[in-house]
Structure 1
């Protein structure tokens, strides 16, 4: 038929259009492309733009499914030109939707895809086809949600919901729309609404046995339940996801295999088609010549047939190897996806547990610090110090586990901020005062006179390294000496190369165990219970120093103590940095002119702790239990500073801050939170907050941050 230029009937063209559509719906892409080419040739011969549109649209669909987006886009645009020439609104709706699909899934072209969806909606409005508006409206919402632009997605979700309710009963569309609404409310912390849409969507999808919607909804619902801590129901939904996902995977796997085979067959078909055309031209030329040339043609044809047979055999063997490789790749991809899923679940779980543990620890550490300052409880000072040490130890353990998890996920990034090396070392020495006395040790430090005091780097990570090394030395030394030494090795291009050393005369480390102790969860075995722990300290030191571009070195013999040392290159800050401490002078100023602070927190114990710490320094303190109450208080009264919790019922701390900034851009707002701060630092500053305090904290550090923001320097920090 492809070689016959004689016109064919409209019925034949319609039949060819129908069977081409059926081939594509059944994933028979090679047959679909062949018939599309045939339809295109007939349309071209008869100068029929209508069937030319369908031919190019079919080719665009086939190539898009075969992941050949360049050819798909080319054919869709050609189909668009036919539809515009015909001025056929129905065809325009089809092609605008298809172009919207291809651009919305291409990174960087999402806006162009949304423009095409809007063209469908505008056209459907003009010709009053309400049913045609649902698909592009849902697709716009989906595109925004894939880009995590949830506020943009929400109006389109509402429009889609209205269209579904006004249209015919369609559980498939309704269940998937409910899934998107559930995801939106989950991401915006409206967990009750999210739970309603997830459960309603599951019910509708299960009524009609819609495997893909059930698999997608149950997975998203499970993720939300894990975050809420409802692990039993979450696990049931994960089981449902795995059950339906297995069924969907079987269908998708067959489609992918057919697509991959079709991709190979289409290339083979195009090559064979080109060979056939050249061969026919060659034969026509030979026929016009002598009988001798005909004989040569026969010989050449035989040689070609032999060559094709050989090539076919080679291709069959190649195809078999490709199938085997594809199966292996599929298995590897499945294993990788499962590992990534489990890793994400672990990370989410640890972040949730971190917040839930740090919140009560804030109450324990804060109340204990306040009781230690109460002179009437002097006889209980030893017990209170033990209590605070235990809480600090538990906090350090939580931080170690989370730090190792973040480094495994490659989420740790070094900062570059000014700090004072002498203050940092002194703070570490003071931290281990209780443990030093417990083991009857002597803890000393020495900083070379030529070591620059003011440096630029990441003091938090450096402090973690030294804290773990000193903690290790204190733990394995009894009635001995621990020495911390900092020396200047060299100065190069405005950078100081510093040598750090932590030395003890404790039990020492055998040569055979010196590599083992830097592995996760590894320890030297000992009968002494005091030496127990997680085994995370030294592995964290090793990985953290690798981020600095340095290495940890160990010198030790069993029974003769140990020396841990490393070198760091840090920028030298020329201008001395003034201390931001909460000085006695600042305290006296606050007594003369008390400053007013609003504490926004839904936890009663945390309210008591924060209020007492503030009132101890003569601050006037008011408490709001939620975001709505905080907004009302700020509208009706003046506050010098606001301490804002992040996780609260109703509207969270970041949304509360955004609303306050609409009418009060000046008041300093400081986040006071127990969440894992690295995950939300950017969002906190973007919401309009000036600074961050992580619970639990040392009171002196707490006062420093308050003074920095009350003195007006918070703007500089926020800009960094």
Structure 2
């Protein structure tokens, strides 16, 4: 193995030389370093599972503190864990993540160590010597900047070894000359074996067999007396190859045997260390199973003795019953023949009815999907052009006609989304997810987002949260927020000059399960008793004869269906003129360890102000105008083409940073266009800009090579955040 390969991970002390961050409410540098120390301790003890868990916590803290130095250190520890149990592809991935953050710092020692680690993995594990040597050379440059002579010698040694392994002795010459020149003052016990072995390889190459033999023997002697036996293995192999080359096949075989003996010993020692704990547990489990089997056999024998006493009686009784059954069965067979004929006919009718129902369900889904797409496409144009008019002609900002147009488009879009949502629930296409979230943050975010509606009707929103509720819970926060949003907006809509309360109380804790009761109370117009059973039905709107309250009539239906997915029900108390109280209970999990495992990585905001080139592939003329206007308004360069063929042609002659791809296009759709782009070897990020529902096209989009999906109409902030992240990620990987 390469010299001191694993040693390079333990360099957290480097961070102490960097400027200390100003103290904030975020984790301090000392706190993060303490967490890093624990991860390193577990790594030294080969407890990789605990080391990974703790190093990921350190990574979260470093990301929150935006400390690139410590982020790189955390990633490097994670990579070394994977390297230790031979997950080399994962190790390379996390080493590169570490390097991307290290490159944002001025810490040359940190950059040097990570580059060297990558060189080791590529050269001596993946056998990709060219790529590995590139990382070694980068590491060497940083070592020279820091004037770290010991490291300069070590990296020259590794580069020489890599070049010798691929018979590139001319390319290795300057590095080989350096280690020979500085050997006396900079070599140590961990490098002396490799130094002598490399000399043996070199003199074997130039056919100076006497010197080659002398150096190989010295390398083997040093390896036998030294503590590190892996380099002795390499010396045996290289010396055996040299002996075979000069015709001494007998001794060549002899040293192969010695290599195998040492290799087997090392392998068995490592294997025993890794298997010791697991083997003990397996043996204990096997012992328990054997005891269990003996106890079960004993119980069975006891039961058998008891049962044997009544077997004779049961046999006689069974014989009598059997005779009676034969007579009865004979009569039943005749009867069943007649009944089966009728059942077969009825089954055929049921199968036909089932097939018709399934066909109707598919047609319903296709119809809803098609209608939603056909409505969203023009709505994108209406909303986009309305926004353009309001931005370009400030004098129209108070126009009632333009405001009505924008409101109507938004209202129609809300109707389409509600219909799609209720259809997904009815077809069991929604599966609850597990996310870590802060209950207080979610509720206050909903309160803030509905502030405009509360001001419109002169209402006040009050939030009351039980302090016993844990800070972090695990559950589907998106569906929970949707339930709360519908109920609170409904309360605000039917309340004027009043108050809406959002109350959350912890009512019971069983293990890790927290039962939280929520109440949405308002002082509004109330619901008559006769109408209370109707309000959860689709498209029902109570009270519209008195005042025209806008809405689809699907909000409470969606609430009831979503709560069903949570395993909960909703109840209400209401009287005309006295307000309404909606009550429901949801069980959320509280588990700190699971929370840490769910949050593996915190998304880092990679947006920037750099000018990027955007290609828009869109066949609808109005949508072309709207999309191009949005992009150019944000200082991006935008080129528009009408179809997939035009996109392929322009990508052959011009480079773009991102492609916004419509899906439903004539001649060649967005999926097929993307596949042809990927077949050309073009790695440019592609974002689907479509009116289709995201769940309908996700699988096909991924298989075609599309990087992300944005549904029209969209928020421009979300669009630019996504394309900026994709562009920066692609440039970093490249």
* TM-score of the superposed pair, with normalisation by structure 1: 0.50
